[in-house]
Structure 1
Amino acid sequence: MQSELMRNETHSVGECSSSTSLSSQRDIEDDRMIAVVLSEEYAELDGAVARRLSNLAPVPHVPRINSYIPNLSDASLDYQRLLQRLKVYGLYEVKVSGDGNCQFRALSDQMFKSPEYHKHVRKEVVKQLKDCRNLYEGYVPMKYKKYYRKMSKSGEWGDHVTLQAAADKFAAKICLLTSFRETCFIEIAPQFEAPKREFWLSFWSEVHYNSLYEIRDAPISHKPRKKHWLF
């Protein structure tokens, strides 16, 4: 997924003005200062991912399709912000392949402790889209049949509509730790029943999803060495 971003957006890097670059640099410096303060404040936190993020107020979720892919410069700054947040909260990403299936791979890892069941996850989400058209059609600005047929294809990027469909299908609250500057934490809850489980994903905004764990809860096969575990 990242490589596709590089191909599509490298030409836009030169379009960023010097004032925009300076502003972006100030944003990163501000984030670093915030990260230091939060690191000290939450140094004693322990427990599951949910407890580590319990101080954050989730932003209401609005399902939408993918419409904007950031340019290379903005995406790089966003990724640094996400890394800082992971470090602040002591969380670990199980990185999944950036082959266009990352949302479904990350969900698969949360469900089965393996990203390799992404085809099954995609199939179930698309079935939800087809069977419950009235729940999602209003969020899709194209012919709905064309949309869910497109989503059935391997390599097609998942979006916030498919996340809502996954939450509904699997009766799960899907929690995103994001790289958005103004939106750190998003919750996507089932629409018609109480969630029976939680899935935790990191979201390099509009670019890539990974599966998220507290370091001690990460699958053994994915656990990093104690040093450099974040990167």
Structure 2
Amino acid sequence: MMNGGNQSQCSSSTSFSSSSQQDTDMEDDRMIALILTEEYANLDGAVARRLSDLAPVPHIPRINSFIPNLSDASLDHQRLIQRLNLYGLREVKVSGDGNCQFRALSDQMYKSPEYHKHVRKEIVKQLKDSRSLYEGYVPMKYKRYYKRMAKSGEWGDHVTLQAAADKFAAKICLLTSFRDTCFIEIMPQYRAPRCELWLSFWSEVHYNSLYEIQVAPIQPKPRKKHWLF
């Protein structure tokens, strides 16, 4: 479901070895479980209706290959702002600390970016458990790739987005800053989506969580700088 009721419930589990860490993480899991026990709501499609005139571009999983220079990124940012304004959308901005994709997904699913470690762990588990689905898109030793992705601060890419769609049975929609690609849609490969997650995607390297402007949560001033802000 989408914003204002778009925080979808997607099942997962965690376990930890350290007893002190375990207590903290068990409490996190209990909080997540409260969300997960709610019944799935129908997709209300609020943001989707606003973007109904856009034809989504088919998604091709790939790893990050380049970082735009400051000039190109600034132009892209202005383009993204114009698109957000045009469609009446607002970003909930997450920290540009290398975890932004996972933070944005966490915000869409759990109404908070702070479960990004949990989200990353589940995506990496999907990569490990379903190697045949993703290995062909990774131009390096696959084990090296998913071990790298397990590290906090490692940028998520289009392969991890596909793994997230598959793991959480989510339709992931990206409103982008690209000149020729406004809207990218990532569908789960082998089952129907039961939730929609909406992200903004800036210059190939930064993600934020996306809401209709009327229902976007009030966001405190971030303590960490966003990428290139």
Same fold (TM over 0.5): yes
Of 54-63 and 210-219, more deviation after overlay is shown by: 210-219
Match of 2:22 in 1: none
Give 1:116-195 correspondences, 5 Å limit: 116-195=114-193
Number of aligned residue pairs: give it. Answer: 177
How far is the alpha carbon of 1:193 from its aligned partner? 0.6
CA shift, 1:223, in A, is 8.7
| Number of the residue aligned with 1:222 | 219
Inter-partner Cα distance in structure 2 for 1:52 and 1:223: 26
SS of aligned partner of 2:178: coil
Q: Return structure 1 stretches of 4+ with deviation > 2 angstroms.
A: 221-224
Match of 2:111?
Answer: 113
Name the residue aligned to 1:13: none
1:82 corresponds in structure 2 to: 80
The structure, 1 or 2, with the larger RCO (C-alpha pairs under 8 Å, 6+ apart) is: 2
Structure with the larger helix share: 1
Q: Which amino acid in 1 is paired with 2:145? A: Y
Within the alignment, does 1:196 sit opposite 2:194 as a pair?
Answer: yes
Distance 1:154 1:96 in 2: 15
Equivalent of residue 209 in structure 2, options 208, 211, 215: 211
Secondary structure in structure 2 of the residue aligned to 1:148: helix
| Structure 2, unpaired ranges of 5+ | 1-44, 222-229
Contact 1:215 1:223 in 2 (8 A): no
Quote how far apart the aligned CAs of 1:216 are. 1.9
Distance between the aligned counterparts of 2:220 and 2:63, measured in 1? 33
Structure 1's 178 and 108: CA in aligned 2 closer, same or farther, altered over 3 A? same
- Report the secondary structure of 1:210's partner residue: strand
Q: Give the TM-score taking structure 1 as reference length.
A: 0.75
Q: Is the 8 A contact 1:91 1:215 kept in 2?
A: yes
The whole-number CA distance in structure 1 between the counterparts of 2:133 and 2:206 is: 25
Distance in 1, matches of 2:107 and 2:71, equals 29
SS at match of 1:217: coil
C-alpha distance in structure 1 between counterparts of 2:200 and 2:179, whole Å: 14
Structure number with larger C-alpha Rg: 1
Q: Deviations over 1:140-198 (max 9, x none)?
A: 00000000000000000000000000000000000000000000000000000110000
> Residue 99 of structure 1: SS of its match in structure 2?
coil
Q: Counterparts of 1:114 and 1:145 in 2: how far apart (Å)? A: 30
Q: Distance in 2 between matches of 1:216 and 1:75?
A: 28
CA distance in 2: counterparts of 1:192 and 1:205, whole angstroms: 29
Distance 2:73 2:149 in 1: 24
Q: CA deviation at 1:68?
A: 1.1
CA distance in 2, matches of 1:57, 1:104: 25
Q: Distance in 2 between matches of 1:138 and 1:194?
A: 23
Give the CA deviation at 1:217. 2.2
Amino acid at match of 1:176: L
Q: Which amino acid aligns with 2:68?
A: P
AA at the equivalent of 1:125: I
Distance 2:162 2:187 in 1: 7
User: What CA distance in whole angstroms lies between the structure 2 residues aligned with 1:117 and 1:109?
Assistant: 8
Q: TM-score, normalised by structure 2?
A: 0.76
